[in-house]
Amino acid sequence: MLNLGKSLNWKRTLFGKQERHVKRNHPIDQDLSDLLGRIREKMMELKHPPLEELTPEQSRFFYKEARTFFNPFESDGIQTHNVYVGEGNIPVRIYQPAGAEELPVFLFMHGGGWVFGDLDSADSLCTYFAKNAECLVISAGYRLAPEHPFPAALQDVMVVAQWALQNVRHWNGNPAQMAIGGESSGANLAAAAVLWMKELGSCPFQLQVLITPVLRHQFETDSYQSGYAFNLTKEKMEWFWNHYVTDARQGSHPFASPLNAKSHKDVPPLLLVTAEYDPLRDEGFQYAEKLKNEGIHVKHLHYSQLVHSFPNMIGQVKSADSAMIELAGTLKTMLRDRFLFLIENENYSRIER
């Protein structure tokens, strides 16, 4: 049985492989392709081998180098506060918009394949959400694999979630208007945390926000097999998973693969974001369909010219800018006027861009 610890109260691609081109109905955004090309050239300059040939320590170095290509988002009007939470001193950064009014709250987990990433790598994105979704953002750090394999990161997220629910009023946050979410592996942790809270009794968050999420330990969907390889590939995802879980049995646990949960009844409404050129695309579609079939309200934003990690390309790729404006606006509406939003919108919508 999985030990989850104490329960709680409540050409070449970027990393070295030859790119394979596949015809799609919507070509990849040209600005995005140019940006990936510049990153690719830098990685070749640094003699970056394929990710699957690197140790985690080596991969973290190249990850930080690649992130220097992403523009920081202006933080005017946003105050930040750094705190440490729980017995493990989990790092947390709070983004508070100016003003005294009570704010909705977004608890956010960074991406990085459970192996790299930190509060700094999520800084621009969290600043963007605080400013454009007009909410208090709580960015949660967590222990990284393989030094701390599954379920260590999820345990940290659960500790931060409990802390956030009890403490957001200190920064004018409203505990009755809270979303939990993240990007990529961070979205995986958010979805798993929702399931764990439900198992413990109920999930106190009003919304889950999953941005290009990892949802199942498998590699057989059409989007994995399609043949295109931009910034994320099947080989890279296998490498990430191999560092996160010890074996396939552990990887199939619903807290590692939320799509495998027998029931999603009574989970919060879902705001889902997927990208066409992303091997994780199809598991996102499957998750949306599964929740919809169980009576959960789903808002699904799909972007047909973008790739995995496009939210980090704010200010450099116009179609990513447009997508993020829409995402932030949707998040703002669903947090502030959730019930009105659900009444006025279809249960399930997929927006092609």
Sign (positive or negative) of CA dihedral 241, 243, 245, 246? positive
Catalytic residue among 278, 282, 309, 319: 278
Q: Rounded distance, CA 144 to CA 350, Å? A: 33
Q: Both tokens of residue 250?
A: 């552990």
Q: Which residues is 82 bridged to in the sheet?
A: 93
- Pick the catalytic residue from 217, 264, 297, 308: 308
| Catalytic-residue membership of 308 | yes
SS3 state at 192? helix
* Residue 184 designated active-site: yes
Q: Which amino acid is at 43?
A: M
Choose the catalytic residue: 184, 185, 223, 226: 184
| Integer CA distances (angstroms), 136 to 93, 118, 163, 193, 239, in order | 11, 19, 15, 20, 34
- Nearest by Cα to 108 from 351, 281, 328: 328
Greatest CA span in the chain, whole angstroms?
54
Q: Output the CA–CA distances (angstroms, integers) from residue 234 to 17, 28, 129, in the order listed.
A: 11, 18, 29
- What are the CA-CA distances from residue 116 to residues 110, 148, 310 (Å)? 9, 12, 17
Please list the active-site residues. 184, 278, 308
